[in-house]
Structure 1
Amino acid sequence: MSKASTMDIRLADEQDLPRIVEIYNAAVPSRRSTADTETVTPDDRREWFRQHEPARRPLLVGEDEGGIVAWMSFEDFYGRPAYAHTAELSIYIAPDYQGRLLGKRLLQRAEALAPSLDIHTLVGYVFAHNTPSLRLLRASGYQEWGRLPDVARMDGSDFSLCILGKRLDSAPAPLGQPA
């Protein structure tokens, strides 16, 4: 049985922040999953963490054998009231656990949870060269709604950003129940 099949998904608590940051920082050098060019510290991300209200914009972690191996967050899209039913979704997976379908499990959980958060649309911002993330989202029915050519510059190279989205039309799955 693969490790992906044993992953439990739960709400993050503040003691998880160092591991969440560690997983995020592992993505920085690849220049594939984040536009941050320097690593961050738990203190840098503490306010961001506290903004994730469980009833509205939760931050979830995936655990395997008691250790956090992935995380996912819902964030406000564009910060205006008319967009309250749309959320940006971010998923990060520890390097040793990538390629084990954890992203798919987290994405399915996000979609199942979204209606109970009054979210009708999910969007993701993905670098055009991030083939695994694009493949995951497209396989899950997300469509490219926009592309911002060469908007990011890292290490002297320009990178394009794809905006993918999906309109959700399913019944809510309460946070405490598996999806």
Structure 2
Amino acid sequence: MIRLAVPADLPAIVEIYNATIPSRQVTADTEPITVASREEWFVEHRPDRYPLWVWCDAQAQVGGWVSVQAFYGRPAYAATVELSLYIAPTHQRQGIGTQLLDHGLAEWPRLGIQTLLGFVFAHNEPSLRLLERFQFREWGYLPRVAQLDGCDRDLVILGRRLTP
């Protein structure tokens, strides 16, 4: 089941996010974040503009989430958003990311969203493949812009237009 996130979901959302940090493959954060540090971020995800949806299993446990947020914060970019998608380690490779993206792609255009951007480390092959299956294309490549545990990492900017 996919539904809008509620405040009670925030600990699970943070737990899923934090589970990605040790891999050094998904996020540029290098230390776990706290629920308190994400409270304002959560409030910014208004259902009418920047929804945050969660995928829940049969026991109503959150197993993944997808969100969009403002891209650049200036009026000319209002129809462009940055995409975030995270799946719990116990639920990966079960099609949940596909379900969440399908859901978002059906809903985002009615919110006035025209362009989706994904910022993905070049060594994160699973995320790159998933977004490419959804017609995201490489729109930019930033070599060696991140450093994780002393290793330089490249960032791929993927984009997709939702309207012609």
TM-score, normalised to structure 1, is 0.89
Deviations 1:8-53 (A, max 9, x none): 1100011110000000000000111100000011001111111111
RMSD: 0.9
Which consecutive residues of structure 2, in runs of 5 or more, have no partner in the other structure? Answer: none
Question: Among residues 127, 130, 134, which one is paired with 2:124 in the alignment?
Answer: 130
Would you identify which runs of 4 or more consecutive aligned residues in structure 1 move more than 2 Å?
none
Counting aligned pairs with the same residue, the percent is 55
Does residue 154 (structure 1) correspond to residue 148 (structure 2)? The answer is yes
Which consecutive residues of structure 1, in runs of 5 or more, have no partner in the other structure? Answer: 1-7, 171-179
Tell me how far apart the structure 2 counterparts of residues 45 and 140 of structure 1 sit (CA, whole Å): 28
Tell me how far apart the structure 1 counterparts of residues 15 and 56 of structure 2 sit (CA, whole Å): 14
Matches within 5 A, 1:40-79: 40-65=33-58, 66-79=60-73
Tell me how far apart the structure 2 counterparts of residues 127 and 11 of structure 1 sit (CA, whole Å): 27
Question: Among residues 157, 165, 179, which one is paired with 2:159 in the alignment?
Answer: 165
Query: Size of the alignment, in residue pairs?
Result: 163
Counterpart for residue 34 of structure 1? 27
Deviations 1:56-105 (A, max 9, x none): 00111000111100011110011110000011110000001111111111
Letter in 2 for 1:115: P
Tell me how far apart the structure 2 counterparts of residues 142 and 71 of structure 1 sit (CA, whole Å): 19
Letter in 1 for 2:6: D
Deviates more, 1:100-109 or 1:152-161: 100-109
SS of 2:146's partner is strand
Tell me how far apart the structure 2 counterparts of residues 92 and 102 of structure 1 sit (CA, whole Å): 10
